[in-house]
Amino acid sequence: MSRATVLAVALLATACGYRFERDRGVTPTPDGALPKVAVLPFDTTSFRRGLEITLTQLVDTELRSRTGRAPYPPDQADLLLGGTIVRADERVISENTNDVIVQSSFLVTVEVELTDRASGRVLGTYRLTEREPYSDRAGRIRTEQQAAAAALRDLAERIVYLLETQRPKENS
């Protein structure tokens, strides 16, 4: 067998069973690798209503796709996952010489809280921010709504990724 063939077989063998997930290179979490999680409805303190409902749905969908199981009802879960959107607004990135906005970004910040259902103790709080650029006024490259949707999708992925990678620590 040639050296190139042996190398190709070795590369194929090491790749078996591995699949890319959301361009991040993370394998799906096997059932049972995470505690039973309930996704509570997110809240918002921003003036933009409806984003909290969308974020709750996206976290639910992301949890299902990454773990292969549905979130549990709150009374059957080990962990309660919830949070609050504390900021959701447009930020101007650049303007032209006539003060016309050329490019903006949509900024969303969420405070996520993991709580142990049995004891009621907060196991961890995390502040996550996503910024998505768009150019609504200059050539219709992307709308503010599209940027907001992309930012919320990214936040949902990060929230579930946080569940997979962070071991919650009790707050002092």
The closest alpha carbon to 22, from 119, 166, 135, 158, belongs to 158
Alpha-carbon distance 157 to 164, whole Å? 11
DSSP summary character for residue 150: H
This prediction has a pTM of 0.72
28-74 pLDDT, tens digit each: 445 556 788 999 999 999 888 899 999 999 999 999 998 888 899 99
88-146 pLDDT, tens digit each: 988 776 666 776 666 778 899 999 999 999 999 998 999 999 988 877 555 555 778 88
